[in-house]
Structure formats: structure tokens, C-alpha cells
Structure 1
């Protein structure tokens, strides 16, 4: 009987010990709970600021909405008198331009790759301008017939509003081109800080760093006027590339030139002759000390012609005027007096239509 009580006492004592050890005030050797860590706050991230990009245009239409056009150019504008440019077709097999590349005065005849392979689809022959009540139409004739050349050729129209030699506005188009008027591939840029000509209006000031046409005012149908500028191709036997822009883009008196570009294609770098020295740019003229082409290639431009006013002849980048010898007036200076074959009705002089020269329309009268 005493043995059983002793056994019960042992069991009871053991049970109390086990329970007591599991209570919190007996856990003196247990590890303390982990301390609460403060949240890690990352340092502030500085915003990236992009400088030198064209001024953005607030969209006039939501991205989902189609651009609504209220006006489109005529499908059959009248023909205009041609401004002639040098072309390189005849000397291309010799890997050279015949002449017409005057780098110092921004006259570029470079429809060649760096290895002097010729690209006919960007070689300008003529351009002309006509107008109607709402539009100016600029037609560019090329030696080649495929503006959608796989190289990707951009074409442009430069406008000098105040005839000081600095381009003020450029209408700029990129492929693909279609035979119908469209502007989903057309942009219009302006030069608001007057530096497209570098330090001087015409001469090369290379090497300098300016931002050219820095302000985007029309972007593929977006802008204040979704109908501002258009382009199409192969609209006639000679109009390989044709632009149309609203007459409101100018004040009616301006100088205008054209260019093709499959090289740099950067309106922010115009004028290109201010970016590179003649040595770095190279030359397409075989007799030039810097032949062949270097860093400036696949670009062709034409001289600028005056529209809406009579030029003095001293405007920078103006197409040169033919010099007339002082001769006795035979009545041939009136354009109405020349015949279909190019000869004046009055005897004594011949009405010349210069070809493959830097010349202007109308043609001029020469004397035998």
C-alpha cells in the first residue's frame, strides 16, 4: 500500500515538473524574439531629361481616332517652269559627278554611296513650283523612277521666308510613298533659332554643332492643321516626287530649294556643309583633292529659286543668273516671241533651254 502511494507521488511530481518547465517564467535560457527590422527605403530616382529633341505636339486627335482631313490637294495641278540641277547619270560609270558639287556654298551633288556607286533614284534633274487658290505644288524630277528604293530615300523642300540664306521651314517626307496624296509620312519642321546656315548664310562654317530645324510643327497629320502638307510619287511623266503644302505656310514671297537624302537623313543637322570640313566630307569630283566621298554621301540638293518676288541676284544660295552680253536689241527678249523649236520669231538670236546645267526658267536669249 505504501509502495503505491510512493509511485503516485513520483508520477505527480514528474508531471508538475514537466508542466512547469513549459511555462514562460521557466524559459530563462530560450532565445529572444527577433527584433523588428525597419523597412528599407530606396534612394529617390532622378528623372531622365532628354535635351535637343523636337518640340512635342499636343495631339489633336486621340490615338484611336482616325485623322479627319477637310482638304486634299488637286490630283492634276498645272505644270510649271523648271529649275535645272546638275545630274550625274552620264559620269556615273566613272564613279564621279561631272561638276556641280560646290561644298563651300552648300551645293551638293552626291547621289553616290561611299564606294561611289550611283543611285539614280535620288539624282535630281529639275524641280518646279506652281500654285492654285489654296496650295503650292513642288514637283521634283529624278533620273530614276523608284523613290521607294530599298535604301530608304527621304525628300525635302526647304523654304527661306526672308531670303537671307537661312532655311526657315522644311517639308520632309520618308518612304513608303504612294501615287495617291498622303501625309502619314510627312513632317514639317521649323528653325526658330536661325542656325540652319551655321554662322554664315551660305559658306561652310564646319565643324560646328547646331540644331538645324529643331521644332516639329506637323507630324504625319497631327498638328494645328491635319491637311498642312502632302506627298505623292509618279504623278506625271516628269514629276517623280511631288509635294503640296498649304499657302498659309508662307507669306507668298520666299525662296525654295529641294533635296534628296538617303545618308544622314537628319534635319537637325542641316546645313550639312556646316557639320563636316571639306576634307572629312570628301568629294564626288575626281579632280578634287578630297575625292572620293567621305562622311557626307547619298545626298543631292539644288540651288534655291525666288517665288513671289523679284530677286536682286545677291540672295544667298540663289540659283545663278545667266550673264547676258550687251548686244543690240533685236526684239528677242520677250518670251512670247520664241517658237516651238526654241528659235525666236525675230531674227538675230536663239532662245536657249539649258540642259544639265545649273540654270533657271525661263530660258534666256543668246546671239550668234
Structure 2
């Protein structure tokens, strides 16, 4: 079976009753910041908080009665796993999910909560898939591949059908890329509906296998990535061929750019998005001049980010924006100075979050004290105003490890 626009339309009809027709919303703040009209397709509102539920359901609906009775197996870092587990349980089909060791705990738990048997094996998808195929053969289970299957890719392609129905004026659609199933399906659907629409892929710089394959050079894997949902070393050859024919280009995003983008979606648009979606926004941000004046659609492909990672990301984002800052003072050890510092900070309109007063470490002279004050300010400019006021009052201080 080949991935075609007709297959995608038929698949959309089949899965529509049991998937969410997610909204396409204008990102007002980000549009103003970037100088373009940005529309977000909120697949993080899908039943399993990711687009993968579409392809999983599409494949499950094609199984014979015997295959349903025997059960299914999938290998996934999380979103495909949850999609298969959710819809399999809903359809009364037993499911086994092999997940790489180190998969975020929230994804493991949610997959189990959806009714699947979870098996942890390997350090990544590519190491886990061979084990999964062996287990499928031993137990007579049908393997549901997360991206190397035209029916699964057709399910993912239904995202583009909906986007262009919701806003036919889109000039460009930006799609996160891992194994290539989402962008192959979406590009096939989008180009059939609107041949002049641009389709741009977004990959993490640390896992650029699809871009490298399309351009004909070896890919690289440089370690861990925040965008673990698209951290694929071996994309589907069939998807690569479709991407060559239908996708206009693939751009890369660094880890810092992805982190900033996830923070932007949360702080500016109040959307919880995982790193793969952040890669898409990061590519738009770094190419904002290229997209200027256009209507750009971005697939917010999932929202299953680990809560502990999200909390750390938020704090780091606040530090980068200057909204949380650590001021370090060396003071003569005499009464009243902490009160004076606190008063200056308060008068400047900032909040004191934490205070550490250190007298005992030998890096501090006997008659001196080191004071660390963590403050919450409006932005970096506000921090400059506060430090200027403190210096004017005679206090020597530095921000973090940097001298002021």
C-alpha cells in the first residue's frame, strides 16, 4: 500500500469519530513578536496529548478479527505508545508497549494507565525495535510501527487536512520531524489540497537523520535532546523518498533554541508543549525574516513533557529573561545592612525570593559576610535599575558569577 492523498482522506473519515478535531488558533503574542501570522494546531489537546493517536487508531482499524484477538505491540519513547495503548484498550485489543530505558516517567505511567503492558528495554528506539520484533514473533502480536507504515503516516497526514480546512490561507506549514511519518503524511495531504503551500520540516540539530538523508550525507547523533519525541537515528526510507518530493526544506534547531521555544509557548501563549513542538517554533523564530508577512501554521505535536523537566525549564527561562536573578554581596558584618538592601529592592518594585547569609566559609574575611539574595524582577532592564540603586547606596555586588 502506498501513501496517497486518497488514502489520507479515507483514513480521516475512518478515524474522525474517535479523534479530536483539534483547534487551529492564532498565536497573538508570538505573531506580534515575530512579524508574521502564526497559527498553532493544538495536537497537544488530542486524547493522549499528541498527534500519534491518529496514526495508531488508523492502523488498529485495519486489523483482522484474529489480529485483534492476538493483540498488538509497539516500540516508542512515549507518544506513539500512549496512542496505541489508549485506542487498543478502547477497542478491546490487548497491547504490549516496549519503551526505551530512561523514558520520562510520566510517559511510562500514562502508557500503563491506558491499559498496556509496558516493557522497558534498550537506550533508544533503534536499540529497542529489534527486541520488539522478536517479542512480537514469540507472542504472535501485530507490530505497529510509529512511522514506517503508510497507514500510520496517513493517520498523521490528517492533521494537514484539518489545518487547511480551518485556514485555507496558510502560506507555510512547519512540521517537527523524527522518523518522517508526520511530515510525509502532512506534505502529501497539503500539496494535494494546495500545491503552492510550503512545507518546512524542523529537526533537532542533535538528531538530523532525515535532513541528512534527504541531502545525501551521514546524519549525526550528539547525545540527549529535549526533543526526545523526534530523536530518531534511522528514519523510514519510504518516508524519505516522499519528503524529497514534497517537502520544501528541513531546518535545524539547537538545544538552546528548542528550550527557549518551549518556554515561549508556555509564557506567551500559555501552552504546555514538549520539545518536538519547540523545535518547530525554534525554526520559525530563527527564520522569522523569511516568513515575514506570511500566514504560518505550526503543529504543536504534543504536550507530554516531564513535569520535573518543565519546572526546571521554567526557572531557567525566568533567569534568562532576568525575571529571577541572584545578587551576591560582600558586606562588612554589621547590623542593618540586610534591611537596607531589602528596602532598596522593595522600593524598586522587585520581590526577594530567597536570602542566604554566609559568615562561616573561609573565602569570606572574618569581619565580613557574604550575602546572596535571589530576586524576582520584571525583566533584565529592571535588574539593571535595581543594581544601579544598590551601587549608589555603596554596596559592592555581582550577578551570579559576573561582576556588576
TM-score by length of 1: 0.24
Higher CA-based Rg: 1
Between structures 1 and 2, the one with greater helix share: 2
TM-score by length of 2: 0.22
Larger RCO (CA under 8 A, 6+ residues apart): 1
